[in-house]
Amino acid sequence: MSTATEAAADTRKRKGGLSDRAKGERSLGWKLAGPAFVIMLLVTLYPIAYAIYLSLFSYRLTDPSARKFVGLQNYVTALGDGLFWEAFMTTFFIVVVTLVFELILGFAIALLMNKVVLPRRTLRTIVLIPYAIITVVSAFAWLYAAQPDTGFINHWLHTLSFGAWDLNYDWFGGRWSALFIICLSEIWKTTPFVSLLLLAGLAQVDGAMEEAAKVDGASWWQRLTKVILPNMKAAIMVATLFRTLDAVRIYDNPVVMTGGANKTTTLSMLVGRETVERVEIGMGSALAVILFIIVLIIAGIFVKGFKVDLAGGGRS
């Protein structure tokens, strides 16, 4: 009799009906999380919707009475401007260079922190020091370090090259040398963040699997590529996604170091220049929306490309 009753309940459940308990839990969940969810939607969606609305106007803050609806003209103008594509290329040059070095160095540091037993806490604290520094402060530190009159970089290179390096070399006098210092400062500051994320992934790798591969005669490289990396795929995806999105929005370092001179303007700087300096709210909003779409596309590509189900424990 009991078995028949349970079978009937299972049948009702399979037909799409929820038990009273499940309905109650769902209702309680909405009541508890609903207000926070609504506030989060309002706080997040309203600025985005308002930016999209403003981007459809020719609107200069100093002359609000002349505001005029222009449709998608701001987007057409922005995408047809060579300055936008120059900023796009500069931004993604920084993204690619910094991401590659941060992943390699971050993984090496994570391996070290994972293996070293003593002094583990001291080592992790030391590694995190650059990430604890405010980005603007870090940018000024690297600016002063690279300037010919106040910096030490030229002096070190002059000494290491036995006098061949010019002591008065201007790192910020050319596009690629300026980008080199900008990338260097980004790598120095954010590699600890990447290493921490990868360390969390390394902690999830089952040591027994690695030990079994070692017993089977697998080399270090084979254990790395066949056992360790596949089992920390979710951590690699999170580290890569977070750092890519952060680097796409890079603003502080190039503003402090070059102010956009020598073709070092990034997309975020372009948005800030149009919105804050030129008070062209319509064009600035259009550029901000384009940057937002780029970020969404990147996030979608990464989530689809890695094929990681974070809710399911990181396994695809």
Residue whose tokens read 């900023």: 87
As a three-state string, the secondary structure of the chain is: CHHHHHHHHHHHHHCCCCCHHHHHHHHHHHHHHHHHHHHHHHHHHHHHHHHHHHCCEECECCCHHHCEECCCHHHHHHHCCHHHHHHHHHHHHHHHHHHHHHHHHHHHHHHHHHHCCCCHHHHHHHHHHHHHCCHHHHHHHHHHHHCCCCCCHHHHHHHHCCCCCCCCCCHHHCHHHHHHHHHHHHHHHHHHHHHHHHHHHHHCCCHHHHHHHHHCCCCHHHHHHHHHHHHCHHHHHHHHHHHHHHHHCCCHHHHHHCCCCCCCCCHHHHHHHHHHHCCEHHHHHHHHHHHHHHHHHHHHHHHHHHCCCHHHCCCC
pLDDT at 311: 56
pLDDT at 264: 92
- Any domain includes 102: yes
- Any domain includes 141: yes
The closest of 153, 175, 179 to 166, measured between CA atoms, is: 153
Q: pLDDT tens digits for the chain (316 residues)?
A: 444 555 555 555 554 567 888 888 888 888 888 888 889 888 888 889 999 999 999 988 888 888 899 989 999 999 999 999 999 999 999 999 999 999 999 999 888 888 776 677 777 778 888 888 898 999 999 999 999 888 899 999 999 999 888 888 999 989 999 999 999 999 999 999 899 899 888 888 888 888 888 888 888 888 888 888 888 888 898 899 988 988 998 999 999 999 988 899 999 999 999 998 888 999 999 999 999 999 999 988 888 887 776 655 444 4
- Any domain includes 173: yes
pLDDT at 310: 60
pLDDT at 1: 43
Give the predicted TM-score (pTM) of the model: 0.81
Cα–Cα distance for residue pair 198/114, rounded to 1 Å = 10
- Any domain includes 112: yes
Cβ distance 131 to 242 under 8 Å? no
- Any domain includes 292: no
Give residue 248's domain range.
88-267
pLDDT at 118: 64
- Any domain includes 114: yes
Domain count across the chain: 1
- Any domain includes 282: no
Q: Is the peptide bond before 119 cis (omega within 30 degrees of 0)?
A: yes
Instruction: Specify the CATH number for the domain of residue 228.
Output: 1.10.3720.10
pLDDT at 225: 87
- Any domain includes 189: yes
